[in-house]
Amino acid sequence: MVWPKLTVCDYREMLRKLSAAAFFVTLSCVYILRSRIAVVDQLFDSLDVTPPIEAYSLHVPFGTFVVAFAFAVLSESIKLHDKISSVLSIRAVFDVRWILIPMALLSGSTVERSRFDRIATDRTRLMNDVFYKYASSAKQADIDIHLITQALTAWSWYWVCVESLVFLILTAAMLWWFGDWVATALVLAVMLAVIAIMNIFRSDANKYAEAEVSVILSDEVRRKAVKSVFDAL
């Protein structure tokens, strides 16, 4: 298996990173469940039909590997972070609050109540027309490549935390169901730490978005093009 990049330059690299993270987090969660719940360990024993699998220099029991690999594939194939984002409106709120409204105002366009509503409704198209057109990825961008890499990397770590919380919630729920209060409390403590780290990466993403918006609009040609898009709403 290939180690993913810690920093990412495009969406494909981010998906690979999320997939690898899902593998390791699921691996850890299954290990906890097998070590704390006898019936779970017995279930996985029935899946350990071959010698341990070597993955990322680790020797993993076959049953544990299969489940961790399945969650890693699921994370990448269905874009789990995107599904979570849609349910919780994470990107929708971020795009409007930190990118589209600032771009509209700084470009010189006016944002009345009716236009604000149209910005929120037409978010996807607007993001493509005024933001991703200039900052889609570090490999195809009109602005500083380093800035885009920083933004994508911050988001990738944020989504790692978000997906990890899903796996940890499921683990805590199973431990609670089987009455292991100590292990449940420990997993909840880990979740609080992950939430704290996640908020740090979200703060970084906010900061990089502000910088990207500023750089995009620093060019007069781009500023006028962006203004025309918002004025047409």
For residue 56, pLDDT beyond 80: no
d(CA 143, CA 128): 15
Output the pLDDT for position 114: 83
- For position 140, what pLDDT does the model report? 66
Location of structure tokens 């007069």? 220
Joined tokens for residue 10: 């495009």
Q: Given this model, what pLDDT does residue 16 score?
A: 92
Q: Is the pLDDT of residue 96 over 50?
A: yes
pLDDT score of 176: 97
Taking residue 49's Cβ as centre, other Cβ atoms within 10 Å add up to 9
Give the chain's mean pLDDT.
Answer: 91
* pLDDT tens digit sequence for 193-219: 999 999 999 999 999 999 999 999 999
Is pLDDT above 80 for 3? no
The whole-angstrom separation of Cα 199 and Cα 180 is 29
In degrees and rounded to multiples of 5, residue 219 shows phi and psi of -90, 125
C-alpha 99/C-alpha 18 separation (Å) is: 24
Q: What is the pLDDT of residues 110-155, one digit of tens each?
A: 888 888 899 999 999 999 999 999 987 766 667 888 899 999 999 9
pTM of the model: 0.92
Residue 8 token pair? 């990412």
DSSP 4-18: PPSS-SSHHHHHHHH
Q: What percentage of the chain has pLDDT greater than the value 70?
A: 95
User: What's the rounded Cα separation, in Å, for the pair 104 and 95?
Assistant: 12
The alpha-helical segments, DSSP class H, found in the chain are 11-36, 38-45, 62-77, 80-88, 90-94, 101-107, 113-121, 123-126, 133-135, 145-177, 181-217, 220-231
Q: Give the burial class of 25: count Cβ atoms within 10 A of its Cβ; 0-12 exposed, 13-18 middle, 19 or more buried.
A: buried
Provide the pLDDT confidence category of residue 1 given band limits of 50, 70 and 90: very low
Mean pLDDT value across residues 162-166: 97
